[in-house]
Amino acid sequence: MAAELAQIEQAEIAEIIDGKGIADSIHAEVKNEAEIFNRTYGRFPGLAFILVGANPASQIYVRNKGKACAATGIYSVTDTLPEDITEATLLARIDELNADDTIDGILVQLPLPKHINEEKVIERISPAKDVDGFHPISLGRLMIGADTMFPCTPSGILELLKRSGVKTEGKHVVVVGRSNIVGKPVANMLLQKKKGANAVVTICHTGAPDVAVFTRQADILIAAMGSPESIRGEHLKQGVVVIDVGMNRIPDATTKSGTRLTGDVHFASAREIASKITPVPGGVGPMTIAMLLKNTVKAAMLRKNE
Ligand code: GUN
């Protein structure tokens, strides 16, 4: 009896979507593709990172991306440039990388120091090497449903849904957050009339008087507003699939460091209502890097087939 009850309780708790495991299988695919590319063209796909200044979080991100390249057979170089570099010098470095035939992808780690215009920098990267998918040409192509370099976190989300068996066709997806990096592109990708998309999409944001009015209608909820644990179980519909893009460091006296990483969703209460949920860390985060590697191989192949 106790065992049966435990089973029933178990069934009511959301299944965890294993982003780390799915990202690992994508890494294996990339490794294979990079080897085939090397056998065919005599070099591995190449990715250049530009890191300006000494922002500790950016340093960690770039280091982790570089490690993922090394593990999957992608050649990578990191340019570490001083905080006070001029915009003109940075743009000139991008021009050099645009012209470098061994480099297929260029990633300028954001944010940049205040004296540098981010838009200008993003627009200087050749769209053919725009593995971040942030160039207006890439985003414009995304919006009209054409093939392009899709930004890494949004394509990681679509891939997570696909590989964990979540159908999006005809479903109501509610995206919370309207950033250019996640909210706007993921909403546009999901509404395209394509396999793995074709959803009815609502985007809500801080301008909404009551965000919960929208989140309670979601069959699939994508939380990407950067506000720690602010969506709770009571804001959700029974059986919803929850994708938590948040990556917030909050105080926690019970840990050794005195802080912990958490998402935009309150995991424990959401897990009692949802059918599937991504953890933080180990959900969307690893997928962002996996899709960057995929984009680099894609850029390399496209440049060869031009
Ligand atoms: N800063 C935070 N996330 C990202 C990202 O995905 N790409 C770049 N270039 N900078 C970032």
CA distance 306 to 302: 6
Q: Which residues line ligand 1 (CB under 6 A)?
A: 107-110, 132, 152, 288
Kindly give the number of the ligand 1 atom that is closest to the alpha carbon of 110. Answer: 10
Pick the last residue of a domain from 126, 141, 176: 126
Question: Do residue 86 and residue 159 come from a single domain?
Answer: no
Cβ 46 vs Cβ 103: under 8 Å = yes
Determine which residue's CA is closest to atom 9 belonging to ligand 1.
109
Question: Do residue 175 and residue 267 come from a single domain?
Answer: yes
Q: What is the pLDDT of residue 12?
A: 77
Residue 205 forms part of a structural domain: yes
Pick the last residue of a domain from 71, 92, 126: 126
DSSP structure string for 43-58: S--EEEEEEES--HHH
| Residue 167 per-residue DSSP state | -
CA distance 213 to 236: 10
Catalytic annotation on 67? no
Q: How far is the CA of 10 from the centre of ligand 1 (A)?
A: 37
Q: How far is the CA of 286 from the centre of ligand 1 (A)?
A: 13
Question: Do residue 167 and residue 207 come from a single domain?
Answer: yes
Q: How far is the CA of 81 from the centre of ligand 1 (A)?
A: 16
Catalytic annotation on 219? no
| Residue to mutate, 110, 138, 139, 284, ligand 1, most ligand atoms under 8 Å from C-beta | 110
Question: Do residue 161 and residue 276 come from a single domain?
Answer: yes
Q: Which of 104, 109, 130, 219 is catalytic?
A: 109
Determine which residue's CA is closest to atom 2 belonging to ligand 1.
110
Q: What is the pLDDT of residue 3?
A: 60
Q: Which of 18, 130, 132, 244 is catalytic?
A: 132
Kindly give the number of the ligand 1 atom that is closest to the alpha carbon of 292. Answer: 6
Q: How far is the CA of 291 from the centre of ligand 1 (A)?
A: 12
Kindly give the number of the ligand 1 atom that is closest to the alpha carbon of 107. Answer: 9
Contacts with 252 (C-beta within 8 Å, 6 or more apart), sequence order: 258, 259, 260
Catalytic annotation on 109? yes
Residue 258 forms part of a structural domain: yes
Question: Do residue 169 and residue 113 come from a single domain?
Answer: no
Q: How far is the CA of 110 from the centre of ligand 1 (A)?
A: 5
Residue 55 forms part of a structural domain: yes
| Residue to mutate, 124, 132, 186, 248, ligand 1, most ligand atoms under 8 Å from C-beta | 132
Residue 298 forms part of a structural domain: no
Question: Do residue 111 and residue 161 come from a single domain?
Answer: no
Bridge partners (DSSP) listed for residue 77: 48
Residue 115 forms part of a structural domain: yes
What torsion, rounded to 10 degrees, do the Cα atoms 178, 182, 188, 191 define?
-100
Kindly give the number of the ligand 1 atom that is closest to the alpha carbon of 153. Answer: 6
Question: Do residue 159 and residue 281 come from a single domain?
Answer: yes
Residue 141 forms part of a structural domain: no
Question: Do residue 173 and residue 257 come from a single domain?
Answer: yes
pTM, two decimal places: 0.95
Question: Do residue 254 and residue 170 come from a single domain?
Answer: yes
Cα–Cα separations (whole angstroms), residue 85 to 77, 106, 193 = 19, 18, 44
Q: What is the pLDDT of residue 71?
A: 98
Question: Do residue 104 and residue 169 come from a single domain?
Answer: no
Residue 161 forms part of a structural domain: yes
Q: For each successive 10 residues of the chain (306 residues), what is the average pLDDT?
A: 55 90 98 98 98 96 97 98 98 98 98 98 98 98 98 98 98 98 98 97 96 98 98 98 97 96 98 98 98 98 91
Q: What is the pLDDT of residue 4?
A: 60
Question: Do residue 155 and residue 279 come from a single domain?
Answer: yes
Number of domains in the chain: 2
Determine which residue's CA is closest to atom 1 belonging to ligand 1.
110
Question: Do residue 46 and residue 122 come from a single domain?
Answer: yes
Q: How far is the CA of 239 from the centre of ligand 1 (A)?
A: 32
Residue 241 forms part of a structural domain: yes
Give the range of the structural domain holding residue 58, as residue numbers without chain letter: 41-126
CATH of the domain at 203: 3.40.50.720
Cα–Cα separations (whole angstroms), residue 61 to 19, 44, 77, 80, 277 = 17, 22, 14, 13, 24
